[in-house]
Chain A
Amino acid sequence: MTDYLLEVEGVSKGFPGVQALDDMHLNLRHHEVLALVGENGAGKSTLMKLLTGIYEPDAGRFRLNGSPLAVSGPKEALETGISVIHQEFNLMPHLTVAQNIFIGREPRSGGFLLSERALNQRATALVERLGLPLKVTQLVGNLTVAKQQMVEIAKALSYDAKVLIMDEPTAALNDAEVQTLHDLIRRFTRPDTGVIYISHRMDELKQISDRVTVIRDGQYVETLDTATTTMKEVISLMVGRTITGEAEPEGVRDDREVILSVEGLSTKELLTDVSFDLHHGEILGFAGLMGAGRTEVARALVGADKVDSGVVRLRGKEVKLRHPADAAKHRIGYLSEDRKQLGLLLQQDVSANIALTSLSERFTRLGFVDIKAVRAKAQETVRALGIKTPSVRQTTKFLSGGNQQKVVIAKWLVKNCDILIFDEPTRGIDVGAKEEIYALLNDLAQQGKSIIMISSELPEVLRMAHRILVMTEGRVSGILSQSEATQENVMHYATLRPDESVEDAVELGLLPEAALAGGSSESSPGSSEGEVGQR
């Protein structure tokens, strides 16, 4: 057996105008999890596409177990033992779990006809061997994101993979699901296999990886042993500069006036009696597990979803927000979780996106769009937010994730919103850009904007939010002040379920803060808190 399972030797790949990879090196040992980190645009996806034969390298070569590796396409890569789980799921939502896993390799009876029974048997055997809680006849489109991820993994492992490459596998998972994924990865790594694990979440790399390879601007930077490296070192290698670590929420005060007050918000689908206040100049964090209803609160609040009951007061006056346009009129902006689908016109240029929400009130003369005013304002905002774009006429889809997010923010700033709801503002954005978004949020709060920040990344909520509202199963299970907000506390409330301790939950739902300060410990649901607490 050779020293390395997979070797990347001096691989280069250029596209018109960009050198995506320049003399890249990488070595994956047997039986290890190698973390690959780098900012967006550092060349990670290009590397994967080269490995799976979607692109051909301009120079350099790959070796698998010492012998040269050159595959002509995804299928051959899979058959050679290289499985890639892409960040964007590659699943067919209309097909079942089994059909997805064995797509392209369907068991057949008599050449052209499918054997559905053999297919389901094989899929069941695989899923059981991997210990995944999947029902193989379910439609993938009806599964949660976490389970879709499991389908991806089952699919990748069904090809007797030697090298498993995962691109941001946990981007849409909550902490519990991340643990399940890591268990799977640990079980997969054997003396003849290895994993390349690409992630932006630094805390995870520490948990799962043996070594970390850092790349920057298409070039190899360094490989470090995870055990002897601090994440701060990794980050500074990644961005090429030092980033100030453990930041804390800025400008926390408890004397701010209430600007928005929500009382008893309920929807038919999920939300039950959600109440909270949002203060002037405050960042209120929304935490909770996936599906707890954080996004749903935001959507119901701005009128994007139908509300069953509840009262919304804006500066003490009751308002009815039946449609996002009503919310926008009252200067409440909702920056959606999925900016590519819901927040941006990707085909349009930056200025068109920035002006969109305030087109009719600010940039129109006699019904015609005042294109000059739009461009001027866009230019001003681009400068103010430090959006990296060659010009305001650049098509938005060519910007990086972080800059796209800034365009969404710019759009609502131009609208002069007082209340901004950020849903997963840093999803899919690299570490450097995250810092810039954080700084921007802090600035906005300082200028007197009131901010709701929804995030699945607990450390992010902890470092940004003045107060944290924790949700579980559509209800508010606790509102924590900054001093009470610790990882353990938040996870405790996030995993609090009504069927485990009904009295406790009802009590907390009514009087969250008092209950926390008082004797909640006596009736806390020990098992879930205990396990979460270890992390």
Chain B
Amino acid sequence: MTTANVSVEPAPARGLSSAVRDRLQQLLAFASLIVIAGFFSIASSSFFSYSNITSILFSTVVIGTLALGTTFVIITGGIDLSIGTGMALCAVMSGVFIVNLDLPVGLGVLAAILFGGLIGLVNGFNVAIMKIPPFIATLAMMLVAQGLALVISHSAPIYFTDDPSYVKISTGNLIPGVDFPNAVLVLLVAVVVSAILLSKTILGRYTYSIGSNEEATALSGINVRTWKIVIYTLAGLFIGLAGVMISARLGSAQPATGMGYELQAIAAVVIGGTSLAGGKGSIVGTLIGALIISVLNNGLQIMSIPQEWQNVILGIVILVAVYADMIRKKEA
């Protein structure tokens, strides 16, 4: 019967090896990043300079941090719309802890990050236990967070004027003698931590597993509900971190900001090759996605293209990225 068995095998894919094909979207994203950056370096001499590149990295921090946590959620097949306004709420809470309650900066930062975790925990509870579809559950949380941020801050920014060390979290230079903002270091640490979580731990394995086939994961004896809560809470911790980073950068907690960040973060995740259908995605991809958005914004600004057009171009980039992914899937 071996002969018949062999004939059942599909013909081996021509050309690309399967490992390369699986990584193709990432490679594509990386190649686009290089092409876009190359284009801007030719179009503008000031683009490819140390100060501009640090400034691109610096502007990637907030979107990047949000996108990291969202990557986990999206790989499970979920979505988190509350990250933008949730971030604003965490910024406000950071202000409340540090300015109003006069906690030490370190403690206040920790509390703000944990508060983000609380937002994620509630999202996770609603999604996993109450079985509310993630889109609805986090849409509701988006509104709740936006409202709470305004209520708690009395619709006024909270300034960290008396805590200069808070601002240092973002703009200070930890590495002596080098002009390299701390915020970028924070982002890099967050990238490394989330990359390890996603690819090397059971948390990551179950994240993929749930997104790939939730029912099968449950039948394999894995407590899908618990893990979903853990994953949304993790995304919440990143919301908290982003809240700290944005308020440290601005030197103030702006309660009315935040709306719109969630879409940019989701865009970064999608450009990076993570499938909204779940089961597939990577941290490296997300980082590249976030960088593409920053490079685009920065380069277009240098070329004095108005903000309005930047959004049009970003929209087109998303379409192209997703379309490229679909073509890849068809070929695979």
Binding site for B on A (CB under 8 A): 73-76, 78, 86, 89-95, 99, 103-104, 106, 108, 112-114, 133, 138-139, 142, 144, 146, 155, 174-177, 179-180, 289-291, 472-473, 495, 497, 527-528, 531-532
Evaluate contact between B1 and A179: CB separation under 8 angstroms: yes
Given the interface pairs A495-B4, A495-B7, the reply to whether A92 lies near B201 with Cβ below 8 Å is no
Evaluate contact between A99 and B205: CB separation under 8 angstroms: yes
Evaluate contact between B1 and A531: CB separation under 8 angstroms: yes
Evaluate contact between B219 and A92: CB separation under 8 angstroms: no
Evaluate contact between A93 and B213: CB separation under 8 angstroms: yes
- Chain A min CB distance to B178 (Å): 32
Given the interface pairs A144-B8, A180-B1, the reply to whether A90 lies near B220 with Cβ below 8 Å is yes
User: Contacting A94 at CB < 8 Å: which of B8, B212, B222?
Assistant: B212
- Chain B min CB distance to A185 (Å): 15
User: Contacting A108 at CB < 8 Å: which of B18, B202, B221?
Assistant: B202
Evaluate contact between B3 and A139: CB separation under 8 angstroms: no
Contacts of A108 in B (CB 8 A): 202
Q: Which of B1-42 contact A (CB under 8 A)?
A: 1, 3-5, 7-10, 18, 22
Given the interface pairs A108-B202, A139-B22, A528-B4, the reply to whether A92 lies near B221 with Cβ below 8 Å is no
Contacts of B202 in A (CB 8 A): 106, 108, 112, 114
Given the interface pairs A92-B279, A99-B205, the reply to whether A290 lies near B8 with Cβ below 8 Å is yes
A-B contact pairs, 25 of them (CB 8 A): A90-B216, A90-B220, A92-B209, A93-B279, A95-B205, A99-B205, A99-B209, A103-B217, A103-B222, A104-B221, A138-B18, A142-B332, A144-B8, A174-B8, A176-B1, A176-B4, A289-B4, A290-B8, A291-B9, A291-B10, A473-B7, A497-B3, A497-B7, A527-B3, A531-B3
A73 vs B216: C-alpha distance when bound (angstroms): 13
Contacts of B332 in A (CB 8 A): 142
- Chain A min CB distance to B111 (Å): 25
Contacts of B218 in A (CB 8 A): 74
- Chain B min CB distance to A4 (Å): 26
Q: Which 6 residue pairs spanning A and B have beta carbons closest together?
A: A75-B221, A90-B216, A176-B4, A92-B212, A94-B279, A94-B212
Evaluate contact between B18 and A289: CB separation under 8 angstroms: no
Least CB separation from B21: chain A residue: A142
Contacts of A146 in B (CB 8 A): 8
Interface core residue of A92, A93, A113, A177 (most chain B CB under 10 Å): A92
Report the number of A-B residue pairs with Cβ-Cβ less than 8 Å: 106
Binding site for A on B (CB under 8 A): 1, 3-5, 7-10, 18, 22, 200-205, 208-209, 211-213, 215-222, 279-280, 332
Least CB separation from A183: chain B residue: B1
Least CB separation from A93: chain B residue: B212
Interface core residue of B22, B202, B215 (most chain A CB under 10 Å): B202
Contacts of B203 in A (CB 8 A): 112
A290 vs B9: C-alpha distance when bound (angstroms): 9
- Chain B min CB distance to A287 (Å): 14
Least CB separation from A115: chain B residue: B200
A509 vs B203: C-alpha distance when bound (angstroms): 54
Evaluate contact between B211 and A104: CB separation under 8 angstroms: no
User: Contacting A90 at CB < 8 Å: which of B1, B3, B211, B219?
Assistant: B219
Evaluate contact between A472 and B7: CB separation under 8 angstroms: yes
Given the interface pairs A106-B205, A114-B205, the reply to whether A144 lies near B213 with Cβ below 8 Å is no
- Chain B min CB distance to A494 (Å): 8
Evaluate contact between A95 and B209: CB separation under 8 angstroms: yes
Interface core residue of B8, B18, B208, B218 (most chain A CB under 10 Å): B8
Contacts of A175 in B (CB 8 A): 4
Contacts of B222 in A (CB 8 A): 75, 103-104
A74 vs B7: C-alpha distance when bound (angstroms): 36
A531 vs B7: C-alpha distance when bound (angstroms): 15
Contacts of A532 in B (CB 8 A): 4
Evaluate contact between A92 and B1: CB separation under 8 angstroms: no
A495 vs B8: C-alpha distance when bound (angstroms): 10
A75 vs B332: C-alpha distance when bound (angstroms): 34
Contacts of B22 in A (CB 8 A): 139
- Chain A min CB distance to B73 (Å): 16
Contacts of B208 in A (CB 8 A): 92, 94-95
Evaluate contact between B8 and A291: CB separation under 8 angstroms: yes
A177 vs B5: C-alpha distance when bound (angstroms): 7
Contacts of A106 in B (CB 8 A): 202, 205
Interface core residue of A76, A78, A176 (most chain B CB under 10 Å): A176
Evaluate contact between B221 and A144: CB separation under 8 angstroms: no
- Chain B min CB distance to A101 (Å): 10
Contacts of B7 in A (CB 8 A): 289, 291, 472-473, 495, 497
A289 vs B211: C-alpha distance when bound (angstroms): 32
Evaluate contact between B10 and A144: CB separation under 8 angstroms: yes
Given contacts A95-B208, A144-B10, A531-B4, 8 further A-B contacts (CB under 8 A): A73-B221, A74-B218, A86-B219, A90-B213, A99-B205, A103-B220, A114-B204, A174-B4
- Chain B min CB distance to A399 (Å): 21
Contacts of B211 in A (CB 8 A): 94
A86 vs B215: C-alpha distance when bound (angstroms): 12
Contacts of B5 in A (CB 8 A): 133, 176-177, 180
